[in-house]
A = this chain, B = another copy of it.
Amino acid sequence: MPAASPRPRPTLRDVAATAGVSKSLVSLALRGDPGVSESTRDRILAVAEQVGYRPSLSARTLKQGRSMLLGVVISSLENPYHTEIVASVEDAAEQVGLSVVLAHGSRDRGRLADRVQQLGDLGVDGLVVVSSWVPDEVLTAAARRLPVVMVGRTADPVAGVDSVTNDDEQGAALVVDHLVGRGYERIAHVTSSTRPAGLARRRGYEDAMRRAGLGGHVRVAAPDAVDGLLDDGYRAVFARNDVEACDVLDRALDRGLRVPDDVAVVGYDDTLLARRVRPALTTVQQQREVMGARAVALLTGRLGGRSDDVHEVLEPRLVVRASG
């Protein structure tokens, strides 16, 4: 069946002509300005509907200097932690009438930097960055033209960029203390990350072990080198995130070990994965809902004129499930 090919969209001018009024009147009627009589408004709305009028956001953005759009950049769509943060940002954005446009960078620094630029060029009113892979200078440059808030850890504060993050050191300490409380002493840490959050969790692990008098048992390995830990009698493993905890889980189960009877495994992030996997994962929950809400609040604060940088740190919570 032959389809109607897209024709030039009707504009305000078309609606005005059809309704026999001026463009400005249509514009006022469309957004419900009280200065337009009800009967006129109804007639104009009917015509707009009938001709299939839709406002051009680029025209509106150009004129108004704001788009009511909020850009969100994430490293990759594959990481459930990131996509779950996005959802919480969107919910918060919707509350204040902002729509979210999402872009991701497939874990590639250059592509991520491009996405940040693109969203800025597109005219979003603010940017939420959920990725530690965007170079600092790109963030700083972006912050010169629009409010930017970083969700998650950076190595150092980035000038002009607000942030909201969880206390990774404390999260790691929660895990260690929990395992120590259950009588474990040989507690190993598994990580493949050199990103700021990963490093902070590692630091938190090491510090907590020392505080517990277990400094001698501190041991860090890569996820694929976990066999050595098990051979050395480590019976509790804290992984830097849920994904790597699942890798450890698989490896342990492949070796015929029972979890948590033979080895306890703990993750970080409390992603859907943590609930899906068997046994379900003990993990650390960041306050995702709160993070999204705070990120949007920081953005609107900037839009409202604030010019000093704000860095919020939220407290993580331990979620105990079957794995350890």
**Interface of A with B (CB < 8 Å)?**
1-7, 9, 52, 54-59, 61-62, 67, 69, 77-78, 80, 83, 86-87, 90, 99-104, 106, 117-118, 120-123, 141, 143-147, 157, 159-161, 246, 250, 253-254, 272, 276, 278, 302, 305-309
- State in angstroms the CA–CA spacing of A103 and B144 once bound together: 26
What's the number of copies of this chain in the assembled complex?
2
CB closest residue in chain B, given A306: B5
* A103-B106 contact in complex given A6-B146, A122-B58, C-beta closer than 8 Å: no
CB closest residue in chain B, given A67: B58
Question: A103, B103: Cβ atoms under 8 Å?
Answer: no
- State in angstroms the CA–CA spacing of A293 and B136 once bound together: 34
Q: Which residues of B contact A147 (CB under 8 A)?
A: 6
The dominant DSSP class at the A interface is mixed
- State in angstroms the CA–CA spacing of A305 and B302 once bound together: 45
Question: B278, A253: Cβ atoms under 8 Å?
Answer: yes
Q: Which residues of B contact A57 (CB under 8 A)?
A: 58, 118, 121-123
* A160-B307 contact in complex given A123-B57, A276-B246, C-beta closer than 8 Å: no
CB closest residue in chain B, given A86: B77
A1 partner, pick from B4, B80, B159, beta carbons under 8 A = B159
Name 30 A/B residue pairs within 8 A (Cβ), A-sorted: A1-B157, A3-B143, A3-B160, A3-B161, A4-B144, A4-B160, A5-B306, A5-B307, A6-B144, A6-B146, A6-B147, A7-B144, A52-B141, A52-B144, A54-B120, A56-B62, A56-B123, A57-B121, A58-B59, A58-B122, A58-B123, A77-B86, A78-B83, A100-B103, A101-B102, A101-B122, A102-B102, A102-B103, A102-B104, A250-B276
